[in-house]
Amino acid sequence: MKLSQEKIELLKTLRRATASLPLLESFLEDLLTPAEFEDLVKRWRIVTMLDAGVPQREIATKLGVSLSKITRGSRELLDKKGGFAKLLAKI
């Protein structure tokens, strides 16, 4: 899949911003609405809980999300060539 020039520019900006957590947080707060930022936080939490072996129903209860949202994260996590698996392997 070929990346658009705009996507490449955003990814490079994010990479530069990751050198500083406060800068990255400020950038994301400016880029996203509070609800969008919170949704990203929750999605990542779902993935890390799934990776830790927490059952889907427990995640749904703890985070107040639907099972379908958790299932999507689970499906993406199973793709060993996907971004979730690659990043989790690094951290």
Q: Is 70 exposed, middle or buried (0-12, 13-18, 19+ CB in 10 A)?
A: buried
Is-above-0.85 flag for pTM?
no
Give yes or no for residue 1 having a pLDDT over 80: no
Structure tokens at 77: 């996590």
For residue 55, the surrounding DSSP H or E stretch is none
For the stretch 42-88, pLDDT in tens is 999 999 999 999 999 999 999 999 999 999 889 888 888 888 888 88
